[in-house]
């Protein structure tokens, strides 16, 4: 994931519309490298970050109780399994975490 993605979190208290913002770093040659850090926002409210390890297996949620552990886990699972639209047409960068 290299661009912000909107995610709807369905809860018993109503739907929550979360924007997932991947934190990226520019590399030589104009490529973008993912860092494994994903900022979460609900409108103008900062919900904290989900931070993955280098292999995108383990994650931590840095928010202060804005999301339950199960909600953060649902979003982390979405991020881990996310595939960019039209993935076949983009150039492969072996150093990126997708």
Report whether 32 contacts 3 (CB < 8 A): no
The answer to whether residue 13 scores a pLDDT higher than 70 is: yes
Q: What is the mean pLDDT of the chain?
A: 85
Mean pLDDT computed over 61-82: 91
pLDDT at 64: 77
Structure-model confidence comparison of residues 63 and 98, the more confident one: 63
36: left (phi over 0), alpha (psi -120 to 50) or beta: left
Of the candidates 85, 41, 88, the one whose C-alpha atom is nearest the C-alpha of residue 66 is: 41
- Could you tell me the pLDDT band of residue 97, with boundaries at 50, 70 and 90? very low
Are the C-beta atoms of 72 and 61 separated by less than 8 Å? yes
pLDDT, tens only, 34-49:
889 999 999 999 999 9
């Amino acid at each position: 994931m290299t661009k912000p993605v909107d995610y709807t979190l369905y809860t018993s208290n109503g739907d929550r519309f979360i924007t997932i913002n991947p934190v990226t770093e520019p590399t030589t040659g104009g490529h973008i490298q993912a860092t494994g850090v994903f900022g979460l926002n609900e409108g103008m409210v900062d919900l904290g970050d989900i931070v993955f390890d280098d292999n995108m297996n383990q994650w931590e949620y840095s928010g202060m109780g804005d999301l339950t552990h199960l909600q953060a886990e649902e979003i982390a699972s979405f991020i881990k399994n996310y595939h960019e639209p039209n993935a076949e047409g983009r150039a492969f960068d072996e150093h990126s975490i997708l």
